[in-house]
Structure 1
């Protein structure tokens, strides 16, 4: 699980993205993307609403998946 504050919303978000990207990315990659999205949101906007973190993390995961597919 992530190193984010013990907010159940982020845990649910991480679980949702782990399920969505199962077979594409390991759980650790999803965790890192969620944490990075959270950090980036806080740095840019001063807050990290779960909906924003979800959008950012999902985009990161999609880009990583596309890059991995192109390498094959």
Structure 2
């Protein structure tokens, strides 16, 4: 179970993104992107709605996948 600052739990979000990016990113990368998305939202707007965290994390994961493709 991933708990983020402020006590938010994103197990369902992480599971969704792990499935979506299976074979592209390891689970630890997905968890770090969710954590980074949470932190960034809190820093910018003062709170981290789950939908916003999901959108930010998905964008991070897509960008990382694109960058990895470019190196390959």
TM-score (norm 2): 0.91
Structure 2: unaligned runs, 5 residues or longer: none
Q: How many residues align?
A: 70
Q: Which position in structure 2 is the counterpart of 1:52?
A: 52
Task: Please give the alpha-carbon distance, in whole angstroms, between the structure 1 residues aligned to 2:63 and 2:54.
Answer: 14
Structure 1 segments unaligned to the other structure (5+ residues): none
* Higher relative contact order, chain-length normalized (CA < 8 Å, sep 6+): 1
TM-score (norm 1): 0.91
Q: More helix by proportion, 1 or 2?
A: 1
1:11 deviation in Å? Answer: 1.0
- What is the root-mean-square deviation in Å for CA atoms of aligned residues? 1.1
**Cα deviation, residue 64, structure 1:** 0.1
